[in-house]
Chain A
Amino acid sequence: MSSDRLKGLILPALAVLAFEIWLRAFPIASDALAPPSAAVMALAQGLADGSVLLATRDTLLGAIIGLGIGSSIGLLLGVLTGLLPPLDRLLEVSIESIRPIPSVALLPIGLMVFGFGYALEFSIVAKTCLFATLILTRSAVRGVEPRLMEVARALRLSPFARVTKIVLPAALPQIFVAFRLAAGAALIVAVTVEITINPQGLGHAMMTAQQALRPDVMLGYLLWIGIVGFLWNAALLLAQRHLFGRAAVSEAMR
């Protein structure tokens, strides 16, 4: 890590330290606050007894499966509407009327249809990912160099080969950006669904700790959610660099 990035850590570290000293010097019995060291201890305890890992599994399952369902449908619809203007016009009203509804606002309906549990979480996460992927994929497909489409026509590539050999590779770097955005949102929405109604996963565990008046456990979960979120995004970024280093470079040089 460069020294510049280490410098960026100085302020947060000082803040945590100051917070710790302050709470130790003037101990207050608070329902919402606990010294950072207590939060870390609570987290260590939760990790040791497996409860944190179990909750993490549920949340990640919700995020990953929801992301998988939502982004595959979004990708398919994005490619089709990008390539076929008549289909796009046919679906336009449906898409534009559902898209602006915040995913969380669909929770009551989701609850009626699926009840509590995984399916509820998958469906809400999938809705978020579907539209993020659909919109960006469609614009990426529309942006494919028209000359390449003409080359495909002149060579008489089959419609399927046009998609797999021209459209998808040309749009892939942008599609992956869409996937990254959708993935980021997937984790956020999964945790939100758990905090609001779904009785499972990290969000629910955090709310339970809050209601049990255990600020140290609650903050421990918060810290853990932050760590999971950071690793989640880092993994995606790494994958993007790894997969599209070359394509991104040639894209930029065009």
Chain B
Amino acid sequence: MTDSAMNSAGRQSLYEFRDVGLTLGGKLILNGIEITVRKGEILCIVGASGCGKTTLLRLAGGLYRPSQGSVLFDGAPMTMPRQDVAIIFQDYGRALLPWRTATGNVALALEAAKVPAAERKGRIEASLAKVGLADHADKYPTEMSGGMQQRLQIARCLAQEPQALLMDEPFGALDAMTRQSLQDETLALHADSGATIIFVTHDLEEAIYLGDRVIGLLPHPGRVGIEIDVHLPRPRSQLATREEPEFLRLRRELFDFIEKSEGHR
């Protein structure tokens, strides 16, 4: 698929945030959020710490309900978590069951979805294979490195066969090398599954490298401050893509935005 097709505005939308506001503990956290997420795209969300990125993702996951406006998924209001929307948390160490092996952790998603036992084995193996953990199926999370644990969490989400993957700074705690491989694996999984991805990160380069679009949030209360289209060809490559003039221009643009937004507070 060509780059311009990926971004064609005519594509159907999966998510629509309509004038969404959220108040938590008497405090206005998000206000007037208008975002459309197109089917199959990777939308990256950046912004200063505390501006509401995680909160926005939790709204998309149905873990919060908006206090104002509405979050539509496939045209219907998102009122609770859905089986076909998977959330990948940053703190993979806490999001996995330490008493279950890799296989057991992936199985949890299938048990929740009431997949018949006979079908599970194959789907578990396939999910683990997609993230390169086929040879570690019997390991417990504590026996795995951070990168492997995050891969395992991704495998559990893939087993749900989600339409949308919501990722909250998933690679923030990993070293640079592991992060780059996981970025590329994410792109490959995306190309393979066609799932829609909302990807929260504070790493501006990561946002441009992965995204079809990048949205920058302004803090206090969290609202959309900038929206840019990333016209970089796919498949992307860690070296070539990051050296493209367009990449550098976008990086500059986002960098200036963040710097200004931090002056905002």
A residues touching B (Cβ–Cβ < 8 Å)? 145, 147-148, 150-157, 161, 165-166, 169-170, 246-247, 250-251, 253-254
Chain A residues positioned under 8 Å from B6 (CB to CB): none
A-B contact pairs, 9 of them (CB 8 A): A148-B97, A153-B81, A156-B80, A166-B97, A170-B97, A250-B142, A251-B98, A253-B142, A254-B93
| Residue contact B108 to A165, C-beta cutoff 8 Å | yes
- Bound Cα distance A140, B21 (Å): 36
- Is B259 located at the chain interface by the 8 A CB criterion? no
- Is B207 located at the chain interface by the 8 A CB criterion? no
Closest to B91 in A: A147
| Least distance between A45 CB and chain B CB atoms (Å) | 50
The 4 closest A-B pairs by CB, nearest first: A155-B112, A147-B94, A250-B98, A154-B81
- Is B129 located at the chain interface by the 8 A CB criterion? no
Interface size for B (C-beta < 8 A) is: 24
Name the residue among A150, A157, A170, A251 with the largest chain B CB count within 10 angstroms. A150
| Residue contact A153 to B112, C-beta cutoff 8 Å | no
Chain B residues positioned under 8 Å from A161 (CB to CB): 111-112
Closest to A158 in B: B112
Name the residue among A150, A156, A246 with the largest chain B CB count within 10 angstroms. A156
- Bound Cα distance A119, B76 (Å): 59
Closest to A145 in B: B94
Q: Which of the residues A148, A156, A254 comes within 8 Å of B81, measured between beta carbons?
A: A156
- Bound Cα distance A162, B94 (Å): 16
Chain B residues positioned under 8 Å from A145 (CB to CB): 94
Chain A residues positioned under 8 Å from B98 (CB to CB): 247, 250-251, 254
User: In the complex where A145-B94, A154-B63, A154-B81 touch, is A250 in contact with B108 (Cβ < 8 A)?
Assistant: no
- Is B140 located at the chain interface by the 8 A CB criterion? yes
| Least distance between B108 CB and chain A CB atoms (Å) | 7
| Residue contact B140 to A250, C-beta cutoff 8 Å | yes
| Least distance between A229 CB and chain B CB atoms (Å) | 32
| Residue contact A153 to B142, C-beta cutoff 8 Å | no
Chain A residues positioned under 8 Å from B108 (CB to CB): 151, 155, 165
| Residue contact A148 to B140, C-beta cutoff 8 Å | no
Closest to A153 in B: B81
- Bound Cα distance A247, B142 (Å): 11
Which residues of chain B from 132 to 163 have any CB-CB distance to chain A below 8 Å in the complex? 140, 142, 160
- Bound Cα distance A246, B143 (Å): 12
Chain B residues positioned under 8 Å from A170 (CB to CB): 97, 99
Chain A residues positioned under 8 Å from B59 (CB to CB): none
Chain B residues positioned under 8 Å from A152 (CB to CB): 112
- Is B222 located at the chain interface by the 8 A CB criterion? no
- Bound Cα distance A147, B168 (Å): 13
- Bound Cα distance A250, B80 (Å): 32
- Chain B 155-185, CB-CB to A under 8 Å as 1, else 0, gives 0000010000000000000000000000000
Which residues of chain B from 62 to 116 have any CB-CB distance to chain A below 8 Å in the complex? 63, 80-83, 86-87, 89, 91, 93-95, 97-99, 108-109, 111-113
Q: Which of the residues A148, A150, A157, A169 comes within 8 Å of B112, measured between beta carbons?
A: A157
| Residue contact A147 to B89, C-beta cutoff 8 Å | yes
Besides A147-B89, A155-B81, A247-B98, 9 new A-B residue pairs in contact (Cβ under 8 A), listed by A number: A151-B95, A154-B61, A155-B83, A155-B113, A156-B112, A161-B111, A246-B99, A250-B98, A251-B98
